[in-house]
Structure formats: C-alpha cells, structure tokens
C-alpha cells in the first residue's frame, strides 16, 4: 500500500477513535453535538490585513506602546474550511437543526485542547436546541476530571464561539451559574443573521463589517475577499460553516439589509463595493465591530488609532440620539397626561 494511503488510513482511524471516545463521554443526549475536529496549520500573519500595516496605527502612551494587531488569533483561523471543492461541483447539504454539523477546527495539542473543542460543540448544540447550560452541566458532561482547568477551558471556548459564530456567552443566573448563548446581532431582531435554522453566521458578517469600517466605511469587493482569503474563506469554494460565501455576502446579507452591495460608479469593466446596510447600523456599532476586530487580532481597540477615534465619536452621537429620543418620549407622555387630566376636570 502506498505510504500516502497508509497515512490517510491512520488519520481516519485516529478521528474515528476520538469521535467514539467523545460520544461515550457525552452520552446519547449530546452525541449529536460532537463531530470530528480536523487540524489546521498555525495562525497566519495578518500583514496588510484590513488596512496596510496596523502597527502604524498603534499610538504610544505614557504606559508604553500599545500592542499592535499583527497576528490573527487561532480561534479566528477556525474559519478555515475543511473542503476545497468548487461550489459548482457540490450539492447543497441540508442541516438538521437538532444536530451540530462538523464545524470546529483547532489545534489538538493535548487533552485541554480537546476539551475546548468538545465544549464548543456542546454549547452549539445547546444553542440550537434553545436550552441554557449550567456550570454543573459542563463539568459533568464535558470537563469531568479536568475541573481545575474549567475557567481556562470555558474562556477559550467562549472566545471561539464569539470569533467564529458571533455568539456571546451570557451568565443569566449567578447563583446557579447558568449561561445562554446570544447572537451579537439579535438585540433588535428575533431571528438569526442567516435566517435559517443552521449555525449562526454572525462571525463572518462582523468581519466583513470590520473590513468596510477599516477601509473608510466603504470597501471594494477585492478588499473584502483579500481579507477573507487570509481566513480561508474563498468565493466559489464551499465553506463548511458558511456554505457558499459569495452568495451569503453578496445576496443573503444584502437582502437582509446588513450590507449594501453596489457597482462602483463609472467602473469599466464593472467593479463592486460594500457598505454597511441599515440593519447593521441599527443592530451594532462601529465600536462593537472594532472590539470584535481587536479580539481577532489579540489586541485592544485603541491600537487602531484613527478608527478608534471615529468609533468614539459614533458612540457619542448614538448617546445623544438616545437621550433625545428619551426626552421626546417623556415629553409626549407628559403632554398625554396633561390632556387626560384636563379632560377629566372639565364640567359636565
């Protein structure tokens, strides 16, 4: 048997044993939440990502220079696909909402890393089933003998869920340590970004919004794909989480009004550019997107100096708008109360 074929067989057998072990640890209820976890190569450097060299934007302070965004975190690299087949050569695969499809790619260097991957799958399963999860659940079903590493495992799993899927982990009951996963863009919208029952795609949207913001609030199609390619997301290549990325970005998210996709004026041959859509302005902010980018690059928002200042101005404008809206509502309520009082005091 050729050496390459032997290596493939050994890899398949290793994945099979790992999956069987995971299923045994979780039990039948959560078996659907576990899938094979293929390995990925080390995190790529993010040279020239988003806007030239980000290090040029890192200001110095009395406490010393801030950490410049020079690399992409391993969690962000998990966006990389496990298939490089063309969209045209593949049939669309339907997702069973009661099961989590193979989704996670991360380094498997030891048992702690494996627990992180298992916890991510488990939490995604709970999210799709719309069920909260407690610390006790995680310790019993996933962490088990690694209780001393619980906080570390939970932190890394939470980071992965945020950067890849755009899900924030919120503690809703501090006494029982009960958690739920919340989509970053669901504050004013009852559905999911993808408007289907599959896995949330908010992480990709937040990355695209970040590229647009970093490019001066308008990014060419080439600039967007240049960044997504660094994360292993390609137009015309099916992605194991996002399906057809080009359709998702240029059609689905545009139809849902998260993005605007328009032809560049007077371009010949035609070229296209992206802007934030009205729903993106309503459901997130420049500061939130900048905070997301900072986590992707393992840095702080102020490392992107010029955009950080713009985001601060945007936050101030939003605060003034909210205050004006509250004042208007209060004035309307007071006027209504006076009218009611006047009406009730009129002589019969």
Identify the domain containing residue 208 by its residue range: 202-305
Does 215 lie in the same domain as 134? no
Average pLDDT over residues 73-102: 50
192 is a domain residue: no
Does 178 lie in the same domain as 139? yes
Q: What is the pTM of this model?
A: 0.68
At residue 191 the predicted structure's pLDDT band, cuts being 50, 70 and 90, is very low
- Whether the ω angle into residue 269 lies within 30 degrees of 0, i.e. cis, is yes
49 is a domain residue: no
347 is a domain residue: no
Does 154 lie in the same domain as 73? yes
What are 273's strand-pairing partners?
220, 262
Q: Is the pLDDT of residue 13 over 90?
A: no
Does 146 lie in the same domain as 94? yes
Q: pLDDT by residue (tens digit) across 23-55?
A: 443 444 443 333 333 333 333 333 333 443 343
196 is a domain residue: no
At residue 87 the predicted structure's pLDDT band, cuts being 50, 70 and 90, is low
The pLDDT assigned to 184 comes to 86
Does 104 lie in the same domain as 34? yes
- Average pLDDT, rounded, for the chain: 75
**Tokens, residue 57:** 């934007």
Q: pLDDT by residue (tens digit) across 192-225?
A: 454 455 678 899 999 999 999 999 999 999 999 9
Does 294 lie in the same domain as 146? no
Question: Residue 268 — φ and ψ, nearest 5°?
Answer: -145, 110
Does 159 lie in the same domain as 34? yes
At residue 107 the predicted structure's pLDDT band, cuts being 50, 70 and 90, is very low
User: Which CATH number does the domain housing residue 218 bear?
Assistant: 1.10.10.1210
Exposed/middle/buried for residue 170 (C-beta within 10 Å: 0-12, 13-18, 19+): exposed
Higher pLDDT residue, 188 or 303?
Answer: 303
Does 114 lie in the same domain as 216? no
The pLDDT assigned to 51 comes to 41
Number of domain units in the chain: 2
317 is a domain residue: no
Does 218 lie in the same domain as 143? no
Does 242 lie in the same domain as 163? no
Domain boundary among 154, 183, 212: 183
Taking alpha carbons only, the member of 243, 208, 212 closest to residue 229 is 208
For the ranges 64-78, 167-181, 227-241, the lowest mean pLDDT is seen at: 64-78
The pLDDT assigned to 348 comes to 55
Does 234 lie in the same domain as 166? no
52 is a domain residue: no
Domain boundary among 305, 325, 340: 305
User: Which CATH number does the domain housing residue 83 bear?
Assistant: 1.10.10.1200
Residues contacting residue 276 through CB under 8 Å, at least 6 positions apart: 209, 212, 213, 217, 258, 259, 260
Does 130 lie in the same domain as 178? yes
143 is a domain residue: yes
208 is a domain residue: yes
């Amino acid at each position: 048997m050729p050496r390459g074929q032997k290596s493939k067989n050994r890899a398949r057998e290793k994945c099979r044993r790992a999956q069987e072990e995971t299923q045994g640890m979780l039990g039948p209820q959560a078996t659907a939440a576990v899938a094979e976890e293929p390995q990925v190569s080390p995190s790529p450097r993010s040279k020239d990502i988003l806007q030239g060299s980000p290090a040029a934007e890192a200001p110095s302070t009395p406490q010393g220079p801030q950490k410049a965004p020079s690399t992409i975190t391993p969690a962000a690299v998990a966006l990389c696909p496990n298939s490089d087949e063309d969209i045209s050569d593949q049939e669309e695969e339907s997702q069973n909402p009661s099961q989590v499809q193979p989704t996670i790619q991360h380094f498997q260097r030891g048992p702690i890393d494996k627990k992180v991957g298992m916890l991510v799958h488990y939490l995604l399963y709970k999210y799709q089933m719309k069920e909260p999860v407690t610390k006790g659940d995680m310790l019993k079903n996933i962490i088990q003998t690694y209780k001393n590493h619980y906080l570390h495992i939970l932190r890394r799993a939470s980071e992965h869920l945020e950067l890849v899927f755009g899900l924030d982990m919120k503690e809703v009951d501090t006494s029982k340590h009960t958690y739920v996963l919340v989509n970053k863009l669901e504050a004013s919208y009852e559905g999911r970004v993808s408007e289907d029952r599959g896995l949330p795609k908010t992480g990709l949207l937040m990355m695209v919004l970040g590229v647009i913001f970093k490019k001066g609030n308008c990014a060419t199609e080439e600039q967007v794909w240049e960044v997504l390619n660094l994360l292993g997301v390609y137009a015309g290549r099916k992605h194991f989480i996002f399906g057809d990325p080009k359709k998702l970005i240029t059609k689905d998210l545009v139809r849902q009004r998260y993005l605007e996709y328009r032809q560049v004026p007077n371009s010949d041959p035609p070229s296209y550019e992206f802007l934030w859509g009205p729903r993106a302005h309503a459901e997130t902010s420049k500061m939130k997107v900048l905070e997301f980018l900072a986590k992707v690059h393992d840095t702080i928002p102020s490392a992107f100096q010029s955009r950080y200042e713009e985001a601060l101005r945007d936050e101030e404008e939003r605060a003034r708008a909210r205050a004006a809206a509250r004042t208007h509502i209060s004035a309307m309520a007071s006027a209504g109360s006076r009218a009611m009082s006047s009406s009730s005091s009129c002589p019969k």
